[in-house]
Amino acid sequence: MARFPRFDLKYIVTSMDLKNLFLKISERYCSDKKLVEELWTAIKKQYSTRSRHYHNLEHLENIFSELEEVKTEIIDFDILAFSVFYHDVIYKATTKDNEEKSAEFAVSSLKKMKLSETQLEKISEQILATKKHEFSRDEDTNYLIDADLSILGAERDVYKYYIENIRKEYSVYPDFLYKPGRKKAMQHFLEFAFIFKTEYLRDKYEMKARENIKWEIENL
Structural contact between residues 61 and 47, judged by C-beta atoms closer than 8 angstroms: no
pLDDT score, position 163: 98
pLDDT score, position 10: 43
User: What's the CA angle centered on 107, arms 99 and 46, to 5 degrees?
Assistant: 60
In whole angstroms, give the CA distance from residue 146 to residue 111.
27
Backbone dihedral angles phi then psi of residue 12, each to the nearest 5 degrees = -110, 125
What tens digit of pLDDT does each residue of 158-183 get? 999 999 999 999 999 999 999 999 99
Report the sign of the C-alpha dihedral through residues 164, 166, 169, 175, in that order: negative
Q: Which amino acid belongs to residue 24?
A: K
Residues 6+ positions from 14 with CB-CB distance below 8 Å: 61
What tens digit of pLDDT does each residue of 44-97 get? 999 999 999 999 999 999 999 999 999 999 999 999 999 999 999 999 999 999
In whole angstroms, give the CA distance from residue 141 to residue 156.
27
Q: Does residue 5 register a pLDDT over 50?
A: no
pLDDT score, position 16: 78
The pTM score is 0.93
DSSP element (H, E) containing 197:
none
DSSP label at residue 152: G
